[in-house]
Amino acid sequence: MSLKIDQDHSRFRAIVRGKIRENLKKYISHGELLGRKGKDLVSIPIPQIDIPRFRYGDKQQGGAGQGDGDVGDPVGGDGEEGGEGKQAGSDAGEHSLEVDVSLDELASILGEELELPDIQDKGKSKLINAKDRYTGVRRVGPESLRHFRRTYREALKRQISMGAYSPDSPVVVPIPDDKRYRSWKTEAEPVANAVIIYMMDVSGSMGDEQKEIVRIESFWIDAWLQRQYKGLESRYIIHDAVAREVDRDTFFHTRESGGTMISSAYKLCNTLIDDHYPPEEWNIYPFHFSDGDNWSMDDTLSCVDLMKQKLLPRVNMFAYGQVESPYGSGQFIKDLRDHFGKDDRVVTSEIRDKDAIVGSIKDFLGKGK
């Protein structure tokens, strides 16, 4: 169904993306695509544009509130309007809204938005674990699983409707009919392990913006695969002319200069798999990001060779993402496509800018492998 608001909404989206009305962009209050990342929660800021008005500085003002606490106690800072929002009309929205969602939920939202299929296991690990989850309430069950609140509620309802409840002596006694018990479902969970091996080109031609793209993209890939596999590991390899394994933080913040030999990374990746991840037990996902500039055609050929001989037979999927940089020639993706155009174990994707991230996630994960 089309709504009248669609026009205004797409106009707003266009402003936020900076497509039109550049001068408004400075009032957009939003952080990164993922605001802060807590333990399991991420907050997604919803961009808001503040219309400037004559008004007081925020911090000077203060105000009046309600609740417990002594003088000097902090006031519940950045909470937004409470859960049950009713609204009368024209409140000036002063704060940008941040939505907290759990990683798991986020992955489902992502999955739904992009229509990602669930991943088909390679079939190597057929081990299944049964797991019980408490999902509902039922009328029979062992006393140890009695749901106190629901039982109490039922009893209260019954007493009120029978007129046996008096607010002066609020005694609520459940009878067997009131009792409610937690009930569970047994779910089968495959015991599959997966490892993502991230490789990134950190040669001089990869700028901060390119790394930012890789960072965001890898976050989403992590989130999705985390949902699909219980035990997910991530390994990180950076390379210029030589490759080395690093931790996550270094991976995203290193900047080297010098040439690029992609084969060095693939070799290291191969060694990692040899040493730690026997393909019978592991689902293996190498992801490689670069700006597509390689040292020589020879090196490209040895990459292709490595992939054909060693990597592809053992991995679920090999993903290559090419970010656009002002320096790179962008040749590598063409070479890969020439050699593996028909092989559906190899997925390539070009990521032009931040807006293209979503599309490329779909490229990578849309095959359900």
* Position 3 contacts other proteins (CB under 8 A): yes
> Which residue in 122, 146, 150, 153 binds other proteins (CB under 8 A)?
153
Query: How far apart, in whole angstroms, are the C-alpha atoms of residue 234 and residue 197?
Result: 6
* Chain-centre distance for alpha carbon 91: 32
Contact call for residue 352 and other proteins (CB under 8 A): no
- Interaction mask 170-189, other proteins, x per CB under 8 A: --------------------
Q: Does 86 bind other proteins (CB under 8 A)?
A: yes
Exposure string over 221-255, b if 16+ CB within 10 A, otherwise e = bbbbbbbbbeebebbbbbbbeebebbeeeebbebe
Regarding 274 and contact with other proteins (CB under 8 A), the answer is no
- Residue 7, interface with other proteins (CB under 8 A)? yes
Tell me how many residues contact other proteins (CB under 8 A). Answer: 67
Residue of 320, 347, 102, 363 lying closest to 227 (CA atoms) = 102
Cβ-contact 298, 279 below 8 angstroms: no
Interface with other proteins, residue 67, by CB under 8 A: yes
- Partnered with residue 338 across adjacent β-strands are none
**Binding segment toward other proteins, per CB under 8 A, in 65-73, 211-219, 280-288, 297-305:** 65-73
Does residue 156 belong to the site contacting other proteins (CB under 8 A)?
yes
Q: Please name the residues in contact with 38: beta carbons below 8 A apart, sequence gap of 6 or more.
A: 100
Q: Nearest approach, Cβ of 313 to other proteins (angstroms)?
A: 43
How far CA 151 is from CA of 59, 136, 166, 168, in Å, comes to 48, 13, 18, 21
Map residues 27-46 to x or -, x wherever contact with other proteins holds by CB under 8 A: -------------------x
Q: Which CB sits closer to other proteins, 62 or 142?
A: 62
First to last CA, the chain: 34
- CB burial string 299-332: b at 16+ within 10 A, e below: bbebbbebbeebbbebbbbbbbbbbbbeebeeeb
Residue type, 295: W
Residue 13 touching other proteins (CB under 8 A): yes
Name the token pair of 58: 């925020």
Q: Which of 18, 31, 69, 368 binds other proteins (CB under 8 A)?
A: 69
* Residue number with CB closer to other proteins (85 or 123): 85
Indicate which single residue of 22, 58, 143, 249 sits in contact with other proteins (rule: CB under 8 A): 58
Q: Name the CA dihedral angle for 120, 122, 125, 129, rounded to a multiple of 10 degrees.
A: 0
CA dist., res. 140 & res. 138, Å (int): 6
Q: Segment contacting other proteins (CB under 8 A): 86-94, 237-245, 295-303, 347-355? A: 86-94
The reply to whether 167 sits near other proteins by the rule CB under 8 A is: no
Site membership for other proteins, residue 57 (CB under 8 A)? yes
Task: Please list the residues that pair with 351 across neighbouring strands.
Answer: 323
| Residue 71 interacts with other proteins (CB under 8 A): yes or no | yes
Footprint of other proteins on this chain (CB under 8 A)?
Answer: 1, 3-5, 7-13, 15, 20-21, 24, 46-49, 51-77, 79-90, 93, 97, 99, 101, 153, 156-157, 160-161
